[in-house]
Chain A
Amino acid sequence: MSDWQVKYKSTVKDRGARGILKLREGMLLFVPNDPNSDSKLKVLTPNIKSQKYTKEGSNKPPWLNLTNKQARSHIFEFENYQDMHACRALITKALAKCEEEPNKPAAVLTSAEQLSIADLELRFKVLRENSELQRLHKEFVETKVLTEDEFWATRKKLLGKDSIRKSKQQVGLKSMMVSGIKPSTDGRTNRVTFNLTSEIIFQIFAEKPAVRQAFINYVPSKMTEKDFWTKYFRAEYLYSTKNTAVAAAEAAEDEELAVFLKPDEILAQEARQKIRRVDPTLDMEADQGDDYTHLMDHGIQRDGTMDVVEPQNGQFRRSLLQDLNRHAAVVLEGRNIDVDSEDTRSVAEALARVKQVSKADGETTKDANQERLARMSRVAEMEDLQAPQNFPLAPLSIKDPRDYFESQQGNVVNEPRGAGTLKRNVHEAYGSLKESILEIRTKGLSDPLIKPEVAFEVFRSLTQTISTAKNIIGKNPRESFLDRLPKSTRDEVLHHWTSIQELLKHFWSSYPITTTYLHTKAGKLKDAMSNSYSQLEAMKESVQSELRHQLSLLVRPMQQALDAAFQHYDADLQRRAAKSARGSAGEANGHWNYNKGVIIV
């Protein structure tokens, strides 16, 4: 873009060579005036790490010092400061542009996602742990047969295990009941202090919808939050003192307090609705027991003592059973809102909203009721009162098994023999048999039963048979041939096996070839496979003669698989060549309608 007359020095002390500095797209060129000097320089702009320059005000000549990534510095002495500043500005601009570009080419090259540092680390870790995998990786990825992405594409399971921890664990509710939290009492000043956290507030709102409703109604219109909670805890305290008379008295004077002391109307209503909705023949979602606010209990208070109470104050009494059941129901439901804020009001509103939604879902319309009743009547049918149903029957076909056996006998084909001669032979044979038996009965066992030379011969031949069989098959029937190979050969065979599998996997997955990328990939894989093939041959030659046969048997399936792959590759290549030849010929003849589906061989 611009040229300047400069003097180029490699160090400060250098005298400098005169020449022309050219700034072009992506690089800096310095051409010395003296063609014989060898200080020609070409610096690519991405390589420039930093630039320094001498200030105008100082007595120094205008120098621009460029350091590249290899920490070499180039000093250019300009004719005046203007030139130097212009050059510097241009270099800065070029550098800025350079930084943007690396992102784009990377995105083009890797069609997969950008590798983050974490991913790379994970890959290295997996490779380090599995030496087999490392060997494969070294063999293929580093010789550019496979790319990194292809290598890891089938191994996502190995990588994915540690990295996916996106789902955070959902925290449930505490099993401890809120009412179990005892306040701290100060005997001296007669004050009772309750501690209130947002967790406790959430639980209170979830368990006691009446309190929640009261909060929404009263705060901040009628009283502040602090007052609300003070009143609430006063009610709790009154309960804990088991003094129902006092409770009744206070309830009479303070209507807000009364809300906390009375049984929870909202809960009772919800329970009633749930029971109404239930289909008694089918649905055990809820039953009478869900209405635990009206359960008959034993009058056991929260701390286990029994209580006898006057009937008019009955409504101010709560029992352990009701509290426990309600708490358990809430804990099992879990956290059904996501509001995590400290603001009590928003928590209350969110809970109320959720309850509204579930109530709307649960409300049954008239039609739904009708349908439910109809279904109930259908299900409650009694089978013996039904009319007899005549299902269409399929006839059984049971074959006589004797047919099978007889048919087997009937198809015997043999050379025909003269029946007469056979009978005669048979009779003779039987006759001789009977004679033999008679002979042995009279004479007894032959004596000596067996000659010693014969016995010795038998022993010898048996020993020979067993020892030769041992050589061929191996001492231990469970020992495989692999153990008898020398260790290096064995490792080599096993490694060949895994690498051939890997190559074949990638080879077969790249068919059918639709893009040039797949074409080059197949070509590269084929070269690697021919390499493997020749290595297998070499290995077979190198092994000892007595193991050679077994080794070739072992290696044969690998070679067969490779042969099949080569065959396919060649056939495909031929087909493409023929198709392209035909295609070009077809284009020349205009009337030929070249349709891929109708290829006449």
Chain B
Amino acid sequence: MATVASKLYSDDVSLLVLLLDTNPLFWSNTSTTFSQFLSHVLAFLNAVLGLNQLNQVVVIATGYCSCDYIYDSSLTLSGNSESGRTGMPALFASLLEKLEDFIVKDEELIKEQEHDERIASSLLSGSLSMALCYIQRVFRSGHLHPQPRILCLQGSPDGPEQYVAVMNSIFSAQRLMVPIDSCYIGTQNSAFLQQASYITSGVHHAPKQLDGLFQFLTTIFATDLHTRSFVQLPKPVGVDFRASCFCHKKTIDMGYVCSVCLSIFCEHHKKCSTCGSVFGQSKLDGASTVSEKKRKAPDS
């Protein structure tokens, strides 16, 4: 079995981890319905699995306040009792079932929370971490494994409170050499996704027409890592590198940076909240006291 597998292993075997945005607050506000979106995505997954016999796909749903694994192509059994009932290909019946269960669970969780006064963002940091954990396990399974990459299908805006966690996951992905592709289908720009793709050398694209989403996905995001060296993929001209401050989670352009741990603050603090180092007097205060002293000297 192992020898057969090694013979079939070519350069372009890939493991695609898809992070699906299931934020209800976003989907209730878009023109495309979730079902249309799902059909594009499912067809795309089918196409990816069809590219190579050994390709694997993992789907993680990014909910409003939780994330979970929805589908793992290496675990599904062939032959499903539900195949005859619907027009759905047998392959994805379990996916949809698990997705429904997940949404129900997510709803329960939001009921438990009192109120959530934050921007309607999905839990990107959580799903990125789960994806990276899965990939790390694949790396440790042996030296014969597919080349992993992460595809982030996101529509919700960025939640600045997740800045630190998202940046940490991006750097871990960079260290593991796993590219993070991102397809942003929302209205505003997503700085997190742009930065993620830029830092990990993935592809970022924000398609305008959502009814051609399948075409976008298969043209840009279905290429495996080996093929990317000779296929021209769209590159963004500029990247939005704005950070959010660590104290209020606001997106800022200019701020204060701790010289020990590089945490960013929007206003002057006496002490860094991350590493505990004490900041000295700022230059503006210092200059005024010195000039005070100078003015006093000639009088005495």
Partner-B contacts on A (CB < 8 A): 399, 404, 407-409, 411-417, 419, 422-423, 425-430, 432-434, 436-446, 449-451, 454-455, 457-459, 461-462, 465-466, 469-470, 472-473, 477, 598, 600
How many Å lie between the Cα of A601 and that of B128 in the bound state? 58
**A residues less than 8 Å from B219 (CB atoms):** 458-459, 462
Residues A444 and B237 in contact in the complex (CB < 8 Å), given A437-B34, A459-B219:
no
Q: Are A454 and B103 in contact (CB under 8 A)?
A: no
A469 touches which of B215, B235, B276 (Cβ 8 Å): B235
* CB closest chain-B residue, reference A433: B24
**Selected A-B contacts with CB under 8 Å, 28 pairs:** A408-B161, A414-B118, A417-B117, A419-B114, A423-B115, A426-B25, A426-B107, A426-B110, A427-B107, A434-B103, A436-B38, A437-B99, A437-B100, A440-B88, A441-B86, A442-B87, A445-B42, A449-B214, A450-B211, A450-B212, A450-B214, A455-B212, A458-B216, A458-B219, A459-B215, A466-B234, A598-B294, A598-B298
Q: Are B211 and A430 in contact (CB under 8 A)?
A: no
**Count, chain B residues at interface, CB 8 A:** 63
Q: Are A416 and B211 in contact (CB under 8 A)?
A: no
**B residues less than 8 Å from A449 (CB atoms):** 39-40, 43, 214
**A residues less than 8 Å from B110 (CB atoms):** 426
Q: Are A437 and B38 in contact (CB under 8 A)?
A: yes
How many Å lie between the Cα of A442 and that of B99 in the bound state? 15
Partner-A contacts on B (CB < 8 A): 22, 24-25, 27-28, 33-36, 38-40, 42-43, 64, 86-89, 93, 96, 99-100, 103-104, 106-107, 110, 114-119, 161, 164, 207-209, 211-212, 214-216, 219-220, 232-235, 237, 246-250, 273-274, 276, 294-295, 297-298
Q: Are B234 and A432 in contact (CB under 8 A)?
A: no
How many Å lie between the Cα of A412 and that of B162 in the bound state? 11
Q: Are A432 and B27 in contact (CB under 8 A)?
A: yes
**B residues less than 8 Å from A412 (CB atoms):** 117-118, 161, 248-249
Q: What are the 8 tightest A-B residue pairs by CB atom distance, in nearest-first order?
A: A444-B87, A429-B24, A436-B34, A419-B115, A458-B212, A458-B215, A436-B35, A429-B28
Q: Are A457 and B24 in contact (CB under 8 A)?
A: no
Q: Are A473 and B237 in contact (CB under 8 A)?
A: yes
Q: Are A437 and B209 in contact (CB under 8 A)?
A: no
> From residue A553, how far is it (CB to closest CB) to chain B in Å?
13
B237 touches which of A417, A434, A441, A472 (Cβ 8 Å): A472
**B residues less than 8 Å from A411 (CB atoms):** 247-249
**B residues less than 8 Å from A404 (CB atoms):** 273-274
Q: Most chain-A CB neighbours within 10 Å: which of B107, B209, B220, B250?
A: B107
Q: Are B234 and A462 in contact (CB under 8 A)?
A: yes
Q: Are B116 and A422 in contact (CB under 8 A)?
A: yes
**A residues less than 8 Å from B86 (CB atoms):** 441-442, 444
**A residues less than 8 Å from B119 (CB atoms):** 414
Residues A454 and B35 in contact in the complex (CB < 8 Å), given A409-B161, A428-B28, A443-B87:
no
How many Å lie between the Cα of A438 and that of B22 in the bound state? 15
* CB closest chain-A residue, reference B118: A414
Residues A422 and B115 in contact in the complex (CB < 8 Å), given A407-B273, A432-B27, A454-B215:
yes
* CB closest chain-B residue, reference A420: B115
**A residues less than 8 Å from B211 (CB atoms):** 450-451, 454
Q: Are B215 and A440 in contact (CB under 8 A)?
A: no
**B residues less than 8 Å from A465 (CB atoms):** 234
How many Å lie between the Cα of A178 and that of B86 in the bound state? 104
> From residue B222, how far is it (CB to closest CB) to chain A in Å?
13
> From residue A421, how far is it (CB to closest CB) to chain B in Å?
11
Q: Are B27 and A433 in contact (CB under 8 A)?
A: yes
Q: Are A408 and B39 in contact (CB under 8 A)?
A: no
**B residues less than 8 Å from A440 (CB atoms):** 35, 38-39, 88, 96
B117 touches which of A416, A426, A441, A443 (Cβ 8 Å): A416
Q: A445-B89, A446-B36, A454-B212 are in contact. List 15 more A-B contacts (CB 8 A).
A: A408-B161, A416-B117, A426-B24, A430-B107, A433-B22, A434-B100, A441-B88, A441-B93, A450-B215, A454-B209, A466-B233, A466-B235, A472-B237, A473-B237, A600-B294
How many Å lie between the Cα of A451 and that of B209 in the bound state? 12
B209 touches which of A414, A428, A436, A458 (Cβ 8 Å): A458
